[in-house]
Amino acid sequence: MATDLLLAIVHHLLFFGLIAILAAETVLVRPGLGGATLQRLGRLDAVYGGLAGLILIVGFCRVFFGLKGWEFYIYNWVFWAKIIAFLTAGALSAMPTARIARWNRALREDPAHVVSDSEIGVVATRLRTEGAVFLLIPIFAAAMARGYGV
């Protein structure tokens, strides 16, 4: 029982951390992005990727080592909807991650590099879309916790 509780706590804290990082990235991606802010954005994006990986690991530990047992999850359509939402958000994050890495390479080559407003707009829209998809995850989690989907 303590393992289940610990896994649930860690899983939720990681998710909240991921959302905080996404919010910070969304705030930082604005016109005039360059210099130290761009470097900070690159570091945040690396942390974001690490947290996403940890969420998957801890989440699947909950499936296999949690109190409900793997059968509850494997046959639950709400669980799969939650996984699809998470993977969709992950797919949406690929383009911003690639752009942020490219922007940081350009910054290393030219310390005066500033990201164009058009690129900022595209990435900012993608980050907001990703955040909207993430809103589905706690909805599905709450439904699952109340026995929906089985």
Mean pLDDT, the chain, whole residue set: 96
C-alpha distances in angstroms, 121 versus 31, 96, 118?
8, 11, 5
Q: What are the pLDDT digits (tens) for 85-112?
A: 999 999 999 999 999 999 999 999 999 9
pLDDT at 84: 97
Q: Where are the beta strands (DSSP E) in 3-108?
A: none
Model pTM score: 0.92
How many Cβ atoms from other residues are within 10 Å of residue 23's Cβ? 12
Q: Is the alpha carbon torsion for 63, 67, 71, 77 positive or negative?
A: negative
| DSSP at 109 | H
pLDDT of residue 32: 97
Quick count: other Cβ atoms within 10 Å of Cβ 40? 13
- With a cut of 90, say whether residue 150 has pLDDT above it: no
The single residue listed with the structure tokens 């990201």 is 115
